[in-house]
Amino acid sequence: NAGFRVEPPPFLPPVEAVISNFINRPAPGFQANNSNQQSKTISNYYGRSLILFFWSTHSTLSKEYIGYLKELNKELSSLKAELLTFGDESWSDINSFCREKEIDYDVIPNGAYFGEAVYGKELGTPRFFLVNTKGYIKHIIPKERASDPVHTIANLKELLTELMANN
């Protein structure tokens, strides 16, 4: 009688449950240096809406967003918003990638730990958090809803316009 061992898959709470734990709550605080060694904190962005984007150079979908985010970044001042991204990789890897792709928005390297520990790794990579002018998370777009960059960027613009109207 040969025995075998069955390992259950790791437990992951449903995406909606994870999202509901963040919505209408203050965005978790952070202090981190971007790829230009400038210190960034969540409070730097109070008074403006903020898009937080968690990504990895190892994710094909994340890399598809780079060009779209460069274009979106040009439009954000008219929406009274800013973009801050967290790349999973090391400072040297992120810096090389940013130079190669001519990324002109803020990127926080070594974001895997922070993004996973504080901003819901269960939501997948890439994922977006939309924070209002007072620092509260108002919308989240997890990986499962971010499969189409064109649609997702259009959705982010609509959500930013709504936030602007409600502030």
pLDDT tens for residues 39-85? 888 889 999 999 999 999 999 999 999 999 999 999 998 889 999 99
The answer to whether residue 2 scores a pLDDT higher than 80 is no
The closest of 85, 162, 95, 163 to 127, measured between CA atoms, is 85
Q: Which residues contact 151 (CB under 8 A, 6 or more apart)?
A: none
Residues comprising the chain, all counted = 167
Average model confidence (pLDDT) for the chain? Answer: 89
pLDDT tens for residues 102-130? 998 999 998 887 777 789 888 999 999 99
CB 66 within 8 A of CB 103: yes
User: Helix (H, G, I), strand (E, B), or coil: what is residue 41?
Assistant: strand
